[in-house]
Amino acid sequence: MLDPQARQFLDLMAAQGVPPAHTLTAPQARQAYLQRRALSQPEPTAVAATHDHTLMHGGVSVAVREYRPMGSQAQETLPALLYFHGGGWTVGNIETHDVVCRALCNASDCAVFSVDYRLGPEAPFPAAYDDAMASFAWAVANAASLHIDPARIAVGGDSAGGNIAAAVSLGLRGQAAHPDFQLLIYPAVTMRPDTPSYHANGQGYMLTQDAMRWYTANYLSQDQHADDWRASPLLAPSHAGLPAALVLTAGFDPLRDEGRLYADALSKAGVDTQYVCFERQIHGFVTMGKLIREAHTALALCGHVMKRHWAGV
Any idea which residues carry the catalytic annotation?
159, 253, 283
Sequence-distant (6+) residues with CB within 8 A of 154 are 79, 80, 81, 82, 110, 179, 180, 181, 182, 183, 243, 306
Pairing relationship of beta strands 78-84 and 181-185 according to DSSP bridges = unpaired
- C-beta of residue 165 within 8 angstroms of C-beta of residue 130: no
Query: Phi-psi category of 307—alpha, beta or left, where left has phi over 0 and alpha has psi -120 to 50?
Result: alpha
d(Cα 106, Cα 101) in Å, to the nearest integer? 9
d(Cα 181, Cα 165) in Å, to the nearest integer? 10
d(Cα 222, Cα 105) in Å, to the nearest integer? 37
SS3 109: coil
Sequence-distant (6+) residues with CB within 8 A of 225 are 125, 126, 191, 231
Q: What is the DSSP letter of 179?
A: -
Beta bridge partners of 155: 82, 182
d(Cα 146, Cα 135) in Å, to the nearest integer? 13
- C-beta of residue 114 within 8 angstroms of C-beta of residue 85: yes
